[in-house]
Chain A
Amino acid sequence: MNIVVCIKQVPDTAGGVKFNPDGTLDRAAMLAIMNPDDKAGLEAALRLKDEYGAKVTVVTMGLPKADAILREAMAMGADDAVLVTDRVLGGADTWATSQTLAGALRALDYDLVITGRQAIDGDTAQVGPQLSVHLGLPIVSYTQKLRIEGDYVIAERMFDDRHHVLKVKMPCLLTALSELNEPRYMTPGGIFEAFQKPVTIMGRKDLVDTLDSNIGKVGSPTQIAKASDKVRKGAGTQYIPEDATDAAEYITARLKEKFII
């Protein structure tokens, strides 16, 4: 089984987010780490490798310094690493990023693709689902648990108050939640071995079936109007309705209160 895990180097937002005057993230002022959801996805892949046997390849798109998270992934147990980097790919939004990753993945063998649910820098949760569309793969988002049965992945998709159990034929794509597992530590020897291994570098010319109009800044339809620190979602209110009509009236009233309808 070939598993490709897409990972991203992100600024560590644990100590708060710092912005440049123009509203973009001040990445230089923050430590660079492997995105937590992606790390959970990698751990899931490594556990499948431990249990069923698999080759795990990590792929990242970014600046050359993103090499660090590829080394970290290999020190955790990934077999191969691919860095997709090229000046023309810079300034990409989620659309251009997913198109670029799709171009890179078309050049690789995979039965299962795993991405994190979302990155802690942009918090869009769009790249994984977009990638599945570009590659024509079925997707299970918000995966909180998974196992393999023959050619199928049995995955739990998390919701706020329940989960769905889905059976999906491979090849398919999963987006992982950090709740999926507790990622393993690297080993000291693994770190030194990781720096001895080659990292495959892919540039624009290596992307398969990818249009120039879909990559880099030119291929990015998103315009950032304003960026702000993440606002935590409140606990919410639970209301047990007497019947469907009561439920509809309650919801309508709340929406009117907020001038949404």
Chain B
Amino acid sequence: MDFALSQEHAMARDLFRSFAQNEVKPLAQEIDEEERFPSESVAKMAKLGFLGIAVPKQYGGQGCDYLTYTMCVEELAKVCGTTAVVLSAHTSLCQMPILHFGTEEQKQKYLVPLAKGETLGAFGLTEPGAGTDAAGQQTKAVLDGDEWVLNGTKMFITNGYYADTYVIFAMTDKSLGRKGISAFIVEKGTPGFTFGTKEKKMGIRGSATYELVFTDCRIPKENLLGKLGEGYKIAMDTLDGGRIGIAAQALGLAEGALEVTCDYVKTRKQFGKTLGQFQNTQFQLADMATRCDAAQLLVYRAAIDHDIPKKNSDGMASSMAKLYAAETAMYVTTKAVQLHGGYGYIRDYDVERMMRDAKITEIYEGTSEVQRMVIAKNLLK
């Protein structure tokens, strides 16, 4: 067993690190402060193919594996949690369901421009009454001639408003319960599809989190994604891959916080010594680093398994990765703020933002409680 990255992966990681440091880091504080979508970084990522890393070349992507995409999210999150989640939602939640369940026509029409970075993607599952209980969809889709008519509201939608292509879930037959949910591809600008409230958040404040409103929104019949009634399966399959993206975001936040804290304690002096010379600091850093490393192993394993058919069919690897990485992100960023003392509570310091950004990783794309449910269910079956 060799834990070393291949030369290709190591070079890709260097590329993502260099891009994150040079292009993304300088904007991280500004977009958080102004709660501004990082359009300029997204445009740069599009130009370099980052918006299609895990999509096969035949659909305009870079043809890389899931690990490469995961490392990209990780490196972005080290400096900016917002930019990382923009990429994660676009890739895991919009491109992957179209890649795995779309028809050839849908792939050509929607996946190719998404992979080339000409369009941005989003995913609409959550509703005011359907969060963890995703089966409780209230949004309805009714077939009327050659068109589906959508009515309902989605909330907390990452990349909302800025995305061009949306994978939307709606109930097509309530009597069938979760087997009555179907998935659809909806384009921004479709009459009857509007944007509601833009949420004001604790963290990842540069990411756009919008309410989507469908009022007699008519979309072509052929925009049904997958089979009728297959929506819940598509959503769960998509979230399973999405969890790896969020796990990578959490991992990056933890690693980023550890890095800046190591730099800080080497220079900050109290009682005539640098903070790093105190054993209390050393022990805390050791715990933070060990958890980061363990999280990275879980995340990379889940990413590698994701590319092997049926390897992660029970969702254990991705749930463990997200659970542990998210809790590591909270643990490490909280310790990082503490080691920075008063400065850690000031917005000029990166760790303040990182701690706020970390919290959401324990909540979205399946809370930590949901991940524990998935893991326990597999243990006890």
Binding site for B on A (CB under 8 A): 68, 71-72, 75, 185-192, 195
Contacts and interface: CB of A to CB of B under 8 A. Distances in A.
Given A188-B68, A189-B62, A192-B63, A75 B11 contact: yes
A187 B11 contact: no
A187 B62 contact: yes
Interface string B246-264: 0000000000000000000
B224 interface: no
B7 A188 contact: no
Contacts of B63: 189, 192
Nearest to B7: A195
Q: Which 8 A-B pairs have the closest CB atoms?
A: A189-B62, A187-B49, A188-B62, A195-B8, A188-B64, A191-B11, A188-B53, A186-B15
Contacts of A188: 12, 15, 48-50, 53, 62, 64, 68, 72
Contacts of A186: 11, 15
Contact of A185 (B18, B64, B68): B18
Given A185-B15, A185-B18, A191 B57 contact: no
Nearest to B11: A191
B158 to A, nearest CB: 22
Given A185-B15, A186-B15, A189-B61, A68 B7 contact: yes
Q: Which of A72, A187, A188, A189 has the most CB of B within 10 A?
A: A188
B15 A71 contact: no
B210 to A, nearest CB: 29
A185 B12 contact: no
A189 B64 contact: yes
A68 B14 CA distance: 12
B19 interface: yes
Interface string B41-60: 00000001110010001000
A235 to B, nearest CB: 27
Contacts, number: 46
Interface string B63-82: 11000100010000000000
A188 B7 CA distance: 13
Nearest to A182: B22
B48 A192 contact: no
A71 B61 CA distance: 20
Nearest to B50: A188
A186 B10 CA distance: 13
Contact of B48 (A68, A71, A72, A185): A185
Contacts of B19: 185
B54 to A, nearest CB: 9
B49 A72 contact: no
Given A185-B19, A189-B49, 14 more contacts: A71-B11, A185-B18, A187-B49, A188-B49, A188-B50, A188-B64, A188-B68, A188-B72, A189-B53, A190-B49, A191-B8, A191-B15, A192-B12, A195-B8
A185 B49 CA distance: 11
A217 B64 CA distance: 43
Nearest to B61: A189
A192 B48 CA distance: 14
Interface in B1-59: 7-8, 11-12, 15, 18-19, 48-50, 53, 57
A50 to B, nearest CB: 13
A188 B8 CA distance: 9
Contacts of A187: 48-49, 62
A25 B53 CA distance: 38
Q: Which of B7, B8, B57, B61 has the most CB of A within 10 A?
A: B8
Nearest to A184: B48
Contacts of B49: 187-190
A40 to B, nearest CB: 16
A191 B18 contact: no
Nearest to B19: A185
A188 B18 CA distance: 13
B15 A189 contact: no
Given A71-B7, A75-B11, A195-B7, A189 B72 contact: no
5 contacts: A68-B7, A187-B48, A188-B62, A188-B72, A195-B8
A185 B72 CA distance: 14
A256 to B, nearest CB: 46
Contacts of A190: 49
Nearest to A196: B8
Contacts of A68: 7, 11
Nearest to B57: A189
A72 B57 contact: no
A190 B12 CA distance: 9
A242 B13 CA distance: 59
A71 B10 CA distance: 12
B228 to A, nearest CB: 35
B48 A191 contact: no
A189 B12 CA distance: 9
Contacts of B7: 68, 71, 195
Contacts of B62: 187-189, 192
Contacts of A72: 11
A112 B13 CA distance: 33
B261 to A, nearest CB: 20
Which has the most chain A C-beta neighbours within 10 Å: B7, B11, B19, B53? B11
A189 B54 CA distance: 9
